[in-house]
């Protein structure tokens, strides 16, 4: 998958060793929605008929209540971030969008088989977390598959529910959150924290 957007901003993450170093032939970029959705359709959810950039799902980590808010489709826009090689091929992708003034949702991480196991998705997730922080959100949540939870934990998330299969297509899944406190924001921005 080649990124076709003319309007991309490169995001270099220098995390003082917190995030695996990105090889010099790769870069984290914000990509357009069409390229992000195409990567999801081709690699993450092949065969799935309808894939939206924004999810209507909600999660409240304090009450442990999940919900649906279809107004999100009209109210918010997702941002996609990708790890791309020198040919602008997407080798990893994730997206996120605000849910309300507190919560931000990230979803849809995928890494090319040639790049799995290197921890590189952390740099993409941190780009999503930076966007959440820039938008004023302070809790980012996700619904990872069991096999993806470790990638989220390396990026600063913690499991927030038990695993479950009911109501999910690709289970088992669990809820996971990342609190964007001062220390976490400094960590994802590569700032030194005393």
In the chain, what are the domains? 10-189 (3.40.630.30)
Q: Which pLDDT tens digit goes with each residue over 28-53?
A: 999 999 999 999 999 999 989 899 99
Total length of the chain? 194
pLDDT at 85 > cutoff 50: yes
**Neighbouring C-beta atoms of residue 20, cutoff 10 Å:** 15
Q: What is the pLDDT of residue 5?
A: 38
pLDDT at 109 > cutoff 80: yes
List beta partners, residue 1: none
State the sign of the Cα–Cα–Cα–Cα dihedral 62, 153, 136, 128: negative
Q: At how many degrees (to 10) do helices 182-189 and 121-134 cross?
A: 130
Please give the mean pLDDT across all residues of the chain. Answer: 88
Q: What is the pLDDT of residue 20?
A: 60
- Using CA atoms in the order 167, 173, 177, 178, what is the torsion angle rounded to 10 degrees? -140
Tokens 């669990």 sit on residue: 174
Q: How confident is the model at residue 98 (pLDDT cuts 50, 70, 90)?
A: very high
Average pLDDT over residues 74-95: 96
- The reply to whether the predicted model has a pTM over 0.95 is no
């Amino acid at each position: 998958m080649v990124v076709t957007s003319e309007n991309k901003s490169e995001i270099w993450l220098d995390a003082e060793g917190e995030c695996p170093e990105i090889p010099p032939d790769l870069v984290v970029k914000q990509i357009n929605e069409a390229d992000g959705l195409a990567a999801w359709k081709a690699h993450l959810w092949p065969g799935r008929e309808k894939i939206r950039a924004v999810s209507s799902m909600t999660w409240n980590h304090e009450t442990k209540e999940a919900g649906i808010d279809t107004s999100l489709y009209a109210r918010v826009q997702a941002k996609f971030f990708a790890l791309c090689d020198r040919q602008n091929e997407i080798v990893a992708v994730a997206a996120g969008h605000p849910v309300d003034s507190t919560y931000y949702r990230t979803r849809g991480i995928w890494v090319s088989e040639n790049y799995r196991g290197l921890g590189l998705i952390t740099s993409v997730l941190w780009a999503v977390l930076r966007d959440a922080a820039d938008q004023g959100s302070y809790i980012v949540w996700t619904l990872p598959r069991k096999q993806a939870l470790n990638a989220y934990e390396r990026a600063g998330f913690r499991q927030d529910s038990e695993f479950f299969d009911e109501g999910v297509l690709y289970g088992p899944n669990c809820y996971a959150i990342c609190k964007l406190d001062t220390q976490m924001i400094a960590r994802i921005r590569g700032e030194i924290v005393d």
